[in-house]
Amino acid sequence: MRLLRLPEVCERVRRGKSTIYSEIKRGAFPAPVKQGGGNYWPDTEIDAYLQRLISERPANPPTSAS
């Protein structure tokens, strides 16, 4: 397991800092581990979050007409 800093978390989940903290408040995103004055996220929790998003997506998403 690796602990990730916020910039790497933002990059991995393709969300901004404000959105991540808003989702934490709603209970929709893993809360950080506070250590030494910094916030860190276990990579396993971020991976699980992404897996949950994938599993919750519609089976046949609508396609946009081009």
Residue 50 tokens, joined:
């992404």
8 Å CB contact between 1 and 42 = yes
Indicate whether 5 pLDDT > 70: yes
Question: Average pLDDT for residues 34-56, to the nearest whole number?
Answer: 96
pLDDT score, position 51: 97
Indicate whether 52 pLDDT > 70: yes
Please state the domain count of the chain.
1
65 falls within a domain = no
pTM of the full structure: 0.83
**Can you give the residue range of the structural domain that contains 39?**
3-53
Cβ atoms within 10 Å of 20's Cβ, excluding its own = 18
What SS3 class is residue 64?
A: coil
47 falls within a domain = yes
8 Å CB contact between 23 and 29 = yes
